Amino acid sequence: MTFKHTITLAAVMAGWILIAPSIDCARRGLEKETPLSEWENVDQFNLQEDCENYRATVVETEKDERETVYTDRYSYALCISEDDPRLKEK
């Protein structure tokens, strides 16, 4: 196995997480400025493409909804590798 294959295999095994900013109910807004380690895990995926497709589908579906903090949240959501170092920051 080559070094390139090892890196590719590690990326596939890591998995992907859809994270979104937490909702601050008191202020009725999103906590977009908080570190990613404090964002909420929405769902997990094996492939980045599946994660991105899910996020895009939710954003597209919610465009027809009345804008609320809940519908706005997914426009800021991110798909990141579950071993992303930003998830460990505090």
**pLDDT per residue over 3-62, tens digit each?**
444 444 444 567 999 999 998 876 678 888 889 999 999 999 999 999 999 999 988 888
Q: What 8-state DSSP symbol labels residue 2?
A: -
Q: Locate the domains of the chain by residue range.
A: 3-87
HEC string of 4-64 equals: HHHHHHHHHHHCEEEEECCEECCCCEECCCCCHHHCEEEEEECCHHHHHHHHHHHHHHHCC
**Do 18 and 78 touch, CB atoms closer than 8 A?**
yes
pTM, whole model, 2 decimals?
A: 0.75
**Residue 6 pLDDT:** 43
